[in-house]
Structure 1
């Protein structure tokens, strides 16, 4: 497992299965900015996405094209699913994915919806 901490977001990645989670910050803690980007959290989201894309990771999308929420932390922060395009295991088994997400959710401090 790999953890990447950004200014406001934290990514938990399992390169073996290509599974990952991104914990978003509490929106109540956001700081608005006068310039482009609108807020500290939005700027950090954009930075995290650029970095994750460069590493071969992207948010999992719902049917409507928006990013898919995987779970939530006890304090209400959203946890977005991530997938890695170059997993070490080409086709992980269901058991491997279940085990990976159990560990990822534990690291993220979340529970599934």
Structure 2
């Protein structure tokens, strides 16, 4: 039996799932239709166009300080692992592997554990690859 240790970091609207041993992770975004526009009052300084945009900036800043970044594809776009059942994007993260360069089997096991943790299934992963 093999155990994969996945750390979960929860932000206001986003949630990161991290396997620091292998250096793989996911940042799960909420369903976009539930987003809230930034307040239009002088009492609150809006830092973005919406609640989710502000939370994403905060999450990425925190993760960057911890050594994590968004994984980009060959075109410079953020790599997506798929979508959650409620439609939230699952963005791929990378970090420096704590256990050295992982073998393909370890990488595969880590990604499978992350898929299970965020609730991705084969159908949702295939849909992300074709979009």
Question: d(CA) in 1 for partners of 2:103 and 2:16?
Answer: 23
Q: Which has the larger radius of gyration?
A: 2
| Number of equivalenced pairs | 112
Structure 2 unaligned blocks of 5 or more: 1-5, 41-45, 127-131
Q: Check if 1:10 corresponds to 2:20.
A: no
What is the CA distance between 1:72 and its match in structure 2? 1.3
What is the CA distance between 1:74 and its match in structure 2? 1.8
Secondary structure, counterpart of 2:81 in structure 1:
strand
Deviations 1:46-85 (A, max 9, x none): 000000000000010122222111111122211000001x
Quote the residue 1:24 is aligned against. Answer: 29
Aligned pairs (5 A) from 1:35-54:
35-54=46-65
Quote the residue 1:107 is aligned against. Answer: 117
What is the TM-score with the length of structure 1 in the denominator? Answer: 0.94
Question: d(CA) in 1 for partners of 2:32 and 2:109?
Answer: 30
Question: d(CA) in 2 for partners of 1:64 and 1:5?
Answer: 29
Given that 2:71 and 2:94 are in contact with CA atoms closer than 8 Å, whether structure 1 keeps it comes out as yes
Question: d(CA) in 1 for partners of 2:114 and 2:83?
Answer: 12
* Poorly superposed stretches of 4+, deviation over 4 Å: none
Structure with the higher strand share, 1 or 2: 1
Quote the residue 1:58 is aligned against. Answer: 69
Q: CA RMSD in A?
A: 1.0
| Equivalent in 88, 93, 98 of residue 88 of structure 1 | 98
